[in-house]
Amino acid sequence: MDLVAEARRNWVDNDLGEVDAMVAATSIARAHQIVLGRINQALSQFSLTFSRYEALALLSFARNGSMAMARMGERLQVHPTSVTSTIDRLERDGLVTRSPHPDDRRATLAMLTNDGRTLLNEATRALEEIRWGMGEVTDSRLEDLNYELTSVRSSAGDNVSGSTRTNAKG
């Protein structure tokens, strides 16, 4: 049974409003579950979850492979407690280290270790092999999807100025 189609039918049968919006939201939520499940399955061989992978990736993009943990929370859009928990686990696994911030006594830096960088590169290759959980969706359709979702992100206050189309569809 197509559960999203069944939800649509129930919505219509019960004369509820915003049917198309409900179906789109339900489809996005289900797709999120599927994609995140595929990503976490690919990362499990490295004892990583997507949130830990994201933290490693963010550190790899930072100057000197380090960043203040408060800034990591802002960039990853998660609560400071979540960053602390993530860094605790990564540090326990030898993938990051902590050190005092040289310019701010209140801040702590998380720094990517060589082992962390190596594991990140291996995990990234594994995610590329599964196309980040997107299956057989074509590049053109992925670009369309990314573009269409910018309006949802924008309405929530995200800066979407870098989310432009690269193909001629405009």
In this prediction, residues 102-121 reach a mean pLDDT of 92
Residue 82 has pLDDT above 90, yes or no: yes
pLDDT band at 166 (very low <50, low <70, confident <90, very high): low
pTM of the shown model: 0.85
pLDDT in tens, 22-46: 999 999 999 999 999 999 999 999 9
Residue 10 has pLDDT above 70, yes or no: yes
Residue 120 has pLDDT above 60, yes or no: yes
Mean pLDDT of the chain: 91
Residue 127 has pLDDT above 90, yes or no: yes
Tokens of 71: 């800034």
Residue with tokens 């405009």: 170
Q: Are strands 96-100 and 108-112 parallel, antiparallel or unpaired?
A: antiparallel
Residue 40 to residue 21: CA distance in whole angstroms: 28
Compute the Cα dihedral for 133, 65, 160, 164 and give only its sign: negative
Q: At what angle do helices 50-61 and 114-129 cross, to 10 degrees?
A: 120
